[in-house]
């Protein structure tokens, strides 16, 4: 099996810790050691870096605003041991969007406080703050409303289940309703297991997997579904969490264009009323490792693409084996087993099994099938 991955972020957060003072170096060194963070130190203090860190330490001119653009471009998490005011002024021109900005933390040079400054949820700064604070013995300072209120947060649930949140512009209003204690309905139409919505919750958090009748009066709503068409929740602001739970298996004639494959996929997704963000991975036979149309499809969507051998595909029982396919490629099916195997390789972070939900469909030169990760309880 061969993998072509379009994912750019590493499995773990790539961390950098920087300081501009000698006392701050003591705190930064501890973080660098415990969390495998790259250490950035003002050049005047290079001689104070412990020998075991000198090889991977990096020096800079001591002006943090000159260093930060490179850190923003290279790291998922940035810990700055210095005054908060310096950092706020320096990152103001760099912060763009909460879905893309790195996590930024600030700690004081005595190691007493660790503050989550930027990308608390989407970038993971809040969790990282708690983790770093445990290492240094600092008091974690987190100001995100849903966190300090000890209630649920839609963007954190999205991360929990591997979902895409849309539209992001509505998140503030939905989160505000949650923090204010007003009724918010979480409608889990796809019955995805969500640990943070199980057990005790704040009384304003209403959770159901069936649209209630009559509909309760709510200020906001959260859908958990891959469907495009969603029921009304009364007109308040809503966000949708789209679980990435579909695997797409593809077979095609040599030289099939990207556009033909894309058109076939869009046609099927539209017919099923599924959001394109629900796609998690693509799969095909390893004979297609250089098939430009398939490679482009995965690359343009930024999703992993897996290639499987004839023997791997042949081991998967599917409903539509073909003698003609067996004759030409050496296995009785490509699209259907590839969809199932791709989803097994890139399974969502919740218990379930892959099931073939769209048997193979064809255009003139392409064939595809779709598997869906189905909750174990379903």
Alpha-carbon gap, residue 31 to 38, rounded angstroms: 9
pLDDT greater than 70 at residue 1: no
The CATH classification of domain 8-143, taken from the options 3.40.50.11220, 3.30.70.260, 3.30.1340.30, 3.30.300.10: 3.40.50.11220
Q: pLDDT band at residue 198, thresholds of 50, 70 and 90?
A: confident
pLDDT greater than 50 at residue 8: no
pLDDT for the residue numbered 290? 95
pLDDT for the residue numbered 325? 82
pLDDT digits (tens, 9 = 90+) for 131-169: 999 989 999 998 877 666 668 889 889 989 999 999 999
Please enumerate in sequence order all residues whose Cβ is within 8 A of that of 352, keeping only pairs 6 or more positions apart, or say none: 193, 245, 373, 374, 375, 376, 378
pLDDT greater than 90 at residue 96: no
pLDDT for the residue numbered 10? 34
pLDDT digits (tens, 9 = 90+) for 21-62: 999 999 999 999 999 999 999 888 888 888 888 888 889 999
pLDDT digits (tens, 9 = 90+) for 228-275: 999 999 889 999 999 999 999 999 999 999 999 999 999 999 999 999
pLDDT greater than 70 at residue 67: yes
Q: Buried (b) or exposed (e) across 165-204, using 16+ Cβ within 10 A?
A: bbeeebbeebbbbbbeeebbbbbbbbebbbeebeeeeeeb
pLDDT for the residue numbered 56? 80
Mean pLDDT of 276-280: 97
pLDDT for the residue numbered 301? 94
pLDDT digits (tens, 9 = 90+) for 307-333: 999 999 999 999 988 888 888 888 989
Mean pLDDT of 105-110: 94
Q: Tell how strand 184-187 and strand 220-224 pair up.
A: parallel
pLDDT for the residue numbered 349? 93
pLDDT for the residue numbered 11? 45
Q: Which two tokens stand for residue 48?
A: 């104070």
Closest among 375, 342, 353, 348 to 162, alpha carbons compared: 348
- The domain defined by 246-375 folds into Nucleotidyltransferase; domain 5 (3.30.420)
Alpha-carbon gap, residue 135 to 143, rounded angstroms: 20
pLDDT for the residue numbered 7? 31
pLDDT greater than 80 at residue 377: no
Q: pLDDT band at residue 94, thresholds of 50, 70 and 90?
A: very high
pLDDT greater than 70 at residue 9: no
Q: pLDDT band at residue 4, thresholds of 50, 70 and 90?
A: very low
Query: CA distances (Å), 221 to each of 163, 181, 230, 276, in order?
Result: 16, 13, 11, 21
- Which pTM was predicted? 0.75
Domain limits, the chain: 8-143, 154-243, 246-375
CATH number for the domain running over 154-243:
3.40.1390.40
Mean pLDDT of 107-121: 91
pLDDT greater than 70 at residue 14: yes
Q: Beta-carbon neighbour count of residue 302 at 10 Å?
A: 10
Q: pLDDT band at residue 105, thresholds of 50, 70 and 90?
A: very high
pLDDT for the residue numbered 33? 92
């Amino acid at each position: 099996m061969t993998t072509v991955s379009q994912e750019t972020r590493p499995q773990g957060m790539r961390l950098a810790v920087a300081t501009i003072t000698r006392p701050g170096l003591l705190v930064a060194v501890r973080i660098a050691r415990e969390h495998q963070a790259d250490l950035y130190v003002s050049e005047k203090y290079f001689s104070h870096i412990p020998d075991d860190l000198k090889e991977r330490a990096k020096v800079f001119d001591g002006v943090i605003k000159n260093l930060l653009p490179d850190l923003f471009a290279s790291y998922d998490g940035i810990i700055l041991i210095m005054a908060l005011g310096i950092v706020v002024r320096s990152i103001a021109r760099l912060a763009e969007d909460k879905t893309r900005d790195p996590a930024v933390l600030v700690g004081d040079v005595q190691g007493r406080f660790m503050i989550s400054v930027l990308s608390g949820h989407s970038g993971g700064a809040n969790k990282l703050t708690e983790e770093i604070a445990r290492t240094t013995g600092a008091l974690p300072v987190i100001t995100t409303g849903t966190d300090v209120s000890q209630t649920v947060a839609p963007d954190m649930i999205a991360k929990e289940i591997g979902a895409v949140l849309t539209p992001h512009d509505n998140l503030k209003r939905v989160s505000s309703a949650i923090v204010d204690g007003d009724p918010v309905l979480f409608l889990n139409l796809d019955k995805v297991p969500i640990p943070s919505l199980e057990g005790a919750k704040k009384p304003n958090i209403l959770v159901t997997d069936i649209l209630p009748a009559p509909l309760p009066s709510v200020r906001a709503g959260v859908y958990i579904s891959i469907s495009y068409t969603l029921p009304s929740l009364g007109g308040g602001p809503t966000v949708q969490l789209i679980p990435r739970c579909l695997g797409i298996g593809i077979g095609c004639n040599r030289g099939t264009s990207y556009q033909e494959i894309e058109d076939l996929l869009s046609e099927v997704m539209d017919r099923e009323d599924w959001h394109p963000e629900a796609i998690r991975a693509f799969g095909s036979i390893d004979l297609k490792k250089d098939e430009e149309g398939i490679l482009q499809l995965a690359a343009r969507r930024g999703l992993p693409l897996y290639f499987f051998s004839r023997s791997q595909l042949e081991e998967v029982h599917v409903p539509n084996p073909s003698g003609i396919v067996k004759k030409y490629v050496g296995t009785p099916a490509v699209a259907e087993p590839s969809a199932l195997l791709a989803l097994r390789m890139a399974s969502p972070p919740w218990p379930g099994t892959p099931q073939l939900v769209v048997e193979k469909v064809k255009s003139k030169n392409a064939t595809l099938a779709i598997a869906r990760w189905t909750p174990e309880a379903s």
